[in-house]
Each structure stands twice: as structure tokens, then as C-alpha cells.
Structure 1
Amino acid sequence: MKRNVLIIGAGGVAQVVAHKCAHHNDVLGDLHIASRTKAKCDAIVASVQEKAAMKVPGPFSTHQLDAMDSAAVAALIRDTGCQIVINVGSAFINKYVLEACIETGAAYIDTAIHEEPDKICETPPWYANYEWKRKEACREASVTAILGAGFDPGVVNAYARLAADDYVEEVESIDIVDINAGSHGKYFATNFDPEINFREFTGTVYAWQNGNWTENKMFEVGREWDLPVVGKQKAYMSGHDEIHSLAANYPQADVRFWMGFGDHYINVFTVLKSLGLLSEKPVTTAEGQEVIPLKVVKAVLPDPASLAPGYTGKTCIGDLVKGKTGGKPVEVFIYNVADHKDAYEEVGSQGISYTAGVPPVAAAILVAGGTWDTGTMVNVEELDPHPFLGLLNVMGLPTSIRDANGDRPLSFD
């Protein structure tokens, strides 16, 4: 039984994680949250207290931390006695926090692949460039490391495993579709960290097709999807984290990721990129100041957390898995629909943050109880999806399926 949780990060996703950990502090124990700006952590804990979110009385402490300092992270883990670390900070800190967990023996959970600030859309399989290099170290230290345990990556990986285990004997393709049909009312904004958001779409679009990595440009390949609740939506093939592990675990299947974009987003994105404003490389101004254009754009855009109060509409994220069962063609779409307004009313965040923040807490509960306490490094599709999806059903992210019998909710009792 592992107890006491350290949350690293203080953005919109961290707010969801904090509230959901508070809802389950009877299982998770003492709670701590740390980031470079302690005041942001204080505000998150204040929101937890305002909603009386703690299931049982207990501490929820805040800390200032440079998470790129592995020694400082390890010291905080030891000082707080935390046995589970949920890393929902920038993807730039992953390898440093993971190293601290290996050193201290704490379980590690994150929601994205590590990134280096000066590199974009690295060569696949991207996980092999950073996290997977520490797989043996985790095994030797008996450290549990659950990689990519957000929604995508995360829940969609569990959906792929569920489809392969329960519905499709021979998986031939896995298409992950992420549609946000909500509206934040701003001229232009991103739903999570603008820097990380834009970096996903300025490089090469990698997919795993016909047993090989294929390359496209962003917005080069698009199609219309007819989805539950949100209806017909245009989505474009994009590079994304989960493709890199799913391709390793289901090499016989084509694995693609599709994200929905409106014409307005594409137009603004195209202008910014064409002007060089989405570059991660430094430039020098006429006044001799060195700046990184992407960071300047991030600075002038709305904070994603600020979008929550007026956000309306729904998201639909799921996996279309095709293949054969009993030699006959079969396909299933396993999905979740989330509501922005419901998310804000419950935890004070918008729906994108909610879908990303609830799953790592479910993973932490499974680690705490031993079900997912693997003592090694794994991606989500390497674990039994049933207890994970069963928890999410009661935590606010229910799973449904569309197949030959229509749409229906799934139960994991």
C-alpha cells in the first residue's frame, strides 16, 4: 500500500488532479503540490478548500520547486514522505522528476512524453529517446512508472487494449479521434499550455502504417468523422504521444491520431507559423534582445486556465478499432463524452483539463492499492484496462461503445 501524493505542476490540469486527489484522500493519504510559483499552488489548494473537496480531514501542503533540479525533487519527496508522484507540469521536466523517483523509490505517473525545449516532434519511437532509456533502472529499483496516464495519451491507450482484449481478435487499425466541440468565446486561445500545444503541430506528423513510420505535414490529411453527441466534425491526422507506444505494442496494426480543428484555428496557426512566430529557436531583436518567438506568443495568449468560467459545449475522444473476430470484419468505437460546464462546476477547470487530470488520479489510486503497482516502467496499454476504466466511470469520465448494436455505456463491475 503506497500513501501520500506529491503533485507537480500548477496549471489547469493540476487543479483537476488536486481536486480529485482530495476526493480520494482517504486512500491517497497526505497531499502535497509543488511548482516554481508557490502562489499558484496556494490558489489551487484554496479552491479545494472552498469546495470542501477533501473526503476526510488531512493536510494539503504547498511547496516551491524547480522540477528541473532532480536533487531538489528527490529532497522534497523524502521530506514529505510521498510515495506517489503525479507529474502534470511541463513535458520539459519529465526526465528530471522520473530520475528523482528512481532515486527515492516513489512511484511516478505522468501524462505526456518528455520534451527538450530545443527539439520538436522527435524521431519515433519518441519514448525511446528519453523515458524508455530508464526502463531497466526502474526495474532494478522496483520503481513503478506509469507513462502517459492522461486521456490522450492514457485513456485512449486503455481503450485500445480493451478493444484488443474484449472485442477485436485481430487488430488491424487503431484510429484515435480527439474532438473538442466546445467554445471558449475568445478570438484565439489554446486549451492547454500554448507552447506545448503549438509544438505538437509545427513538426512532422508521424503515424504507424503498413509496418512503418510514415510522414506527413500538419493539416495535409483530413477527414470528416460522424461521432456520438458532437456529430460530424473535421479532424486532421496529427502526430501524438500515444502512437509511439501503441506502435510498439501493436506493431501489426496501423496507428493514427486525429485531432479536430476549425478553420479559424487553422488560419491563425498558419499565419503565426508562416511569420516564424511558432519557432522554438531564439532570434535577436533590433534592440539586441534574444527572444524565443514561441514563448512570446505564449505570453500574449490567454492562460488556458482562464478559459474555464465561460466554456460551453462537449468533447468526444475515442478509439476506432478495426480488425477481425472469428475471421469476420469488425469495428468498435470506444469513447468518452465530457462537458466543459460540468467540469467547471465540479473542479473549476474546463473540459480539456478535466479529461487530462482525472485519469492520473485513477492511476494513482490503482498504484496505491497495488493493482497497478508494477515495480517497473509501463505504458497504459500494458496494464489491465478494466479497473482503470471502472474507476473513471465513477470519477466523472464514463466509457461508452459504438458497435453493430449501436451506442451504449460500458460497465466494468
Structure 2
Amino acid sequence: MRLRSELGRIDDQLRDLLSAMDRLQGLLDAVVAISREVELPAVLHRIVTTAMDLVGARYGALGVLSESGERLTQFISAGLSEQERNDLANVGLPRGRGVLGHLIRHPEPLRVDDIPAHPSSTGFPPGHPCMQTLLGVAITVRGEIYGDLYLSERRDGHPFDVHDENVVLALASAAGIAIENVRLFERVRAGGEQFQRLLLPTLPDLRPFTAAAIYRPAAEPSQLGGDWYDAILLPDDVVAVVIGDVVGHDLHAAAAMASTRNMLRALLFDQKNPPGAVLAQLDRILQAITDNPVTTTALARIEPDGPGWQLRWSTAGHVPPLLITRERGAEFLLAEPGLPLGVDTEQARPDHSRFLPPSATVVFFTDGLIEHPDHPIDESLAELARLAAAHASLPLPKFVQALADHHPSDGHDDMAILALRAPHG
């Protein structure tokens, strides 16, 4: 009998040990999952759902406190059914009263086996699911209370125990670090995007033409990009337009973009060479005095020509411009693209030309507008042409906005668009 009792005790200890190992592994997996998120809303939601998984809770929420720490400014919840969410749609944020308010005022871990019987309980709003048990812990960031994590109703029907409390406390510690990291990342990214936009010019008055440009960073968080555009009014009523993309997404790419753009501006002001010759000279200069990455670009000169204008352009491995006219609709100016800058300075750079009738619109863009890993490039170009034709009657700022909003790419890369529209004639 004593042997059986001892074996039973050992068996229970092994089960407890295995359970503890499972909880530890689950906690480690949760911490890794949270740390992978780089957007604050995703981090907060992941904290809630991973906490629910760790303790087997049916419901979970995270209340983010205001700077004063007296009220909630966000309430991220999980576990509610669609019907329950609809029933609570008009209730608004919890006001930090009742048991939730108790945790705000007293940020020690809180376990409640009977919510309605708790001294601080004030009941639930209409449509709120019935909840009996609660586990709440505070989340701190840099020593300040950031918010409170709430869990309710274990799926096995048991109240939360001390093991649940300990594992959620450990998760809350990791959550505080993840929140601080992502907030730092967002500040760095916002500063990087601001720096990127400061490098891009404000388009000058190009009358009689109208012009509009837009830059969009990649949808996925990234560092600085190398997309840029420029437009310059030259003597003799000539307009020069350029768009380009430096390979890379870092400070080096942004710096290379700035140096390339400034050198190109100087070359355009200094001489009246055709675009191909200007790009060839730019390539030689860059190779001689910089270590800039490979760069694609398209350079165009628009010159008066009788009742309209002559578009002369050359590209260095860049996507072709898009021309929109009343007579022919939207068409890409397909021609010999040339090599990107930084590949081979000895290769000739061909020039191309096309007459622009009154009211014609020329669209220059970077490949971030059309690249999609699941779609062939020809399919994306055709979709962009349809999109441009459908919005061609819009004022130019709204036109480029429409292209940026409804682009056929997957948004993984930066994009820049510059459109120039000839007057009516």
C-alpha cells in the first residue's frame, strides 16, 4: 500500500512537472510571438490572445490607461462572439469603474472567483456576457502603469489559480518590454519617414503645365527608402522631369538618393544635352566619386513643339512612363530601357521622343506602384493603365492620390508618382 501511495505521489509530481514545462514552453512561445510584432495595435491584440491561450481563458481584454492613469483610452478585447460585439456596439469604452476600476486604483494582481460578489462590482452593461471569474494584472512600461490585462472564465470551468497568476505576470513583464520596443520603433520609423519626405522636393510652378506628386512608404515597416522624384523649369520653356529608385531600404539608400538627385539637378541646369547624354554623364560621375548602390531612373525633357509639346526621355533600367491622351487613352511608352546607373558606364543610353497633344498627361512612377509577387508584371501594368484611364478626368492631385490608393502592387515597397499635365491648348 505504501509503495502504491508513493508511486501515486511520484506520478502526481511528474504530471505537475510536465504541466509546468508545458506552461513554460507556452510562455516562451508567447513572448517570441509578441516580440515579432512591429505595430502597436498588433502587439496589444497579441498580448490579449496569448494570455488567453496560456491560461485557457474564454475572454480577454487589455485596457490602456490615459496619461493621468485615471481612465481608459483604449480597450482591446478578444473572445466575444459577433452577436456579443453587436450588443455592446453602443456601450462605448469601459469607464474604469467596478472591478476593472479596482485594478486601476490598486495595480496588484487580482483574482476574483465571483465577480458579482466583489465589493467593487457595479454589474455589467446590457448585452455584456455573463462572467463569474477574473484574473487581472497590470502592465508597466519603464516603471509606469501602461494598462491592465484582464482574463475571464477558464474554459474548464475552474477559477483562476496561483499558477495562472504567475504565468500571466511573467507575460505582462515581457509585454511591457514589447510595448516599449514597438513604441521606440514607431518613433524611429516616423522620424525616418519625415526625413525621407524632407529629402523630396516641393514641386515648383511649372506653368503652363500642372504637376502633382506623391510618395508612399512601404506598407510593411521598413527603414528609409530610395524612391525620389523631381521637376525643374529650365530656360526656353523647357520642363525636366525625373523619377528614380535607389536599391536598398536604409540610410545609405536615402543618402544616395539625395546625392544623385542633386547631381542630376546641376547637370540639367548646366547644359542642354538630351536626356540620354545627361544620364550617361551622371553615371560616370557617380561611379567616379561615390559608392552609391545601383539606381534606376527615368529622365524626360518636355519642349514646346508647334501646337503641343515634344517629350524626349531616356530610362536607366526604369519602368516606362504612362501617357494618357484623349485620342488614344492610356498607353505605356515602351522603348529600350537602358542599363541602371552603376552597372556599365560604357553602354550607350538611347533617347526616345513622342509628341504630346494638348491636355495629355504623363505619369512617371517607381516599381513599388506595380510589383506584386503573385501577379506578372504585364498584368500589373495593364491594371495600372486601366486605373489611370478611369481617373484621368480628375484634377491632378486627386489623380495621383487615386493611383496611390488603388495601386495593383502588394505594398511591400516604397512608391513614388509624379504626373505632369499639358494645358488644353
Q: Highest Rg: 1 or 2?
A: 2
TM-score for the superposition, normalised by structure 1? 0.21
- The higher-RCO structure (CA 8 Å, 6+ apart) is 1
TM-score w.r.t. the length of structure 2 is: 0.20
